[in-house]
Amino acid sequence: MPRPRTRPQTRHSPGSGHPSPDAAYASLVRVVASVTAAMALAYLFHTGPVHCPNDQSRWNTVWSLVERGTYAIDGAPWEGTIDKIRRPDGHFYSSKPPLMPTILAGEYWLIKHTLGLDLKEKTAPVVRIILITTNIIPLFLFVLCWGRLVERFVEDPWWRAYWLIAGAVGTYLTGYCTTLNNHIFAGFAVMFTLYFALRIEADHSRSPWDFVLLGTAAAWAACNEVPGVLFTVPVLAYFLWRAPRQTALFALPPALVLGVAFLWTQYLATGGFVPVYLKFDSALYQYEGSYWTQPKGIDAQHEPKLVYLTHMLLGHHGIFTLTPIFVLSAVGLWGLMRDRETPHKPFQWLAACLSVLLVTLYTIRTNNYGGVCNGLRWLFWLTPLWLLAGAMGVRYYGRMVWARRAAVPFLAVSAFSALYALCNPWTRSWLEDVFLWAKIIDYYK
Per-residue pLDDT of the chain (445 residues; tens, 9 = 90+): 333 333 333 344 445 555 556 889 999 999 999 999 999 999 999 999 999 999 999 999 999 999 999 999 999 999 899 999 999 999 999 999 999 999 999 999 999 999 999 999 999 999 999 999 999 999 999 999 999 999 999 999 999 999 999 999 999 999 999 999 999 999 999 999 999 999 999 999 999 999 999 999 999 999 999 999 999 999 999 999 999 999 999 999 999 999 999 999 999 999 999 988 888 889 999 999 999 999 999 999 889 999 999 999 999 999 999 999 999 999 999 999 998 888 889 999 999 999 999 999 999 999 999 999 999 999 999 999 999 999 999 999 999 999 999 999 999 999 999 999 999 999 999 999 999 999 999 987 6
Q: Please state the domain extents for the chain.
A: 21-437
CB 44 within 8 A of CB 137: no
Percentages (nearest 5) of helix, strand, coil residues in the chain: 65, 0, 30
Q: What is the CA radius of gyration of the chain?
A: 22
> CA nearest 176: which of 443, 421, 444, 440?
421
Q: How far apart are CA 255 and CA 353, in angstroms?
A: 23
In order of 147, 157, 325, 397, the CA distances from 406 in angstroms are: 22, 17, 9, 11
pTM exceeding the 0.75 threshold for the entire prediction: yes
Nearest to 172 by CA among 423, 421, 426, 431: 421
